[in-house]
Amino acid sequence: MAMIDTLKASALFEGLDESRLKKVAQLCRSKAFQRGAVVFNEGEDAAELYLLSEGRLLLEMDVSAAGQPPLPTGMEIVNNGEVFGWSAVVEPYVYKLTARCMSTCNTLAIKGEMLRKMMAEDTGIGYHVMKKLSEIIALRLTYTRLRLTSGVGIPLSGRELESHKK
């Protein structure tokens, strides 16, 4: 029952009826990670979608400025009840960011392939998940844009600024 309660409380699965939550719960397995552990790396094949049930996690990407080596740059903090690893559901099924645990983290992991199959078979689940997932992705893109436009982003060099003025 705790797994269903965790799913029900998440932004991705809230609003699904009990029978559909039970179907999704059958795909879930608990996975724990220690502080500092990497759940997945940017560029890896996206095998699983995760729901953070306890802990705090940083989504980061390697960012490089003109000729400099790439630096890990935090893009988003994931808190309890939030999903990450949505690339396991959206083609081309490659993680766009690295997920690093900021604390001990407990997750529910769902095999992307199995979830996609369920979504195709039960279009009610499929529509619900894709609708909620698109809202989550849009919100994260908005936050990223705000961070970048507020000056927290990577400063451009003089030459890059000149090309933007043209």
| Contacts (Cβ under 8 Å, ≥6 apart) of 92 | none
Q: Is residue 159 part of a domain?
A: no
Contact between 78 and 57 under an 8 Å Cβ cutoff? The reply is yes
Give residue 151's pLDDT band: very low, low, confident or very high (50, 70, 90): low
Confidence band (pLDDT; 50, 70, 90) for 120? very high
CB 63, CB 57: distance < 8 Å? no
Assess if residue 7 is contained within a domain: yes
Over residues 104-120, the mean pLDDT reads 98
Residue 57, H or E segment: strand 57-63
> Is residue 22, in this structure, part of any structural domain at all?
yes
Tell me what percent of the residues of the chain surpass a pLDDT of 70.
89
Looking up residue 57, the CATH number of its domain turns out to be: 2.60.120.10
Count of structural domains within the chain: 1
Task: For 17-54, write each residue's pLDDT tens digit.
Answer: 999 999 999 999 999 999 999 999 999 999 999 999 99
Tell if the pTM clears 0.75, that is, is over it: yes
User: Under a CB-based contact definition with an 8 Å cutoff, are residues 39 and 100 in contact?
Assistant: yes
Which structural domain range is residue 29 located in? Answer: 2-153
Residue 162, domain member (yes or no): no
The answer for residues whose C-beta is within 8 angstroms of residue 38's C-beta and 6 or more apart is 98, 99, 100, 101
The answer, yes or no, to whether residue 153 has pLDDT greater than 80, is: no
- 112 within domain boundaries: yes
If one counts every other C-beta atom within 10 angstroms of the C-beta of residue 70, the result is 11
Q: Has residue 165 been placed in a domain?
A: no
Whether residue 161 has pLDDT greater than 70: no
pLDDT surpasses 90 at 91: yes
Do the domain assignments include residue 94?
yes
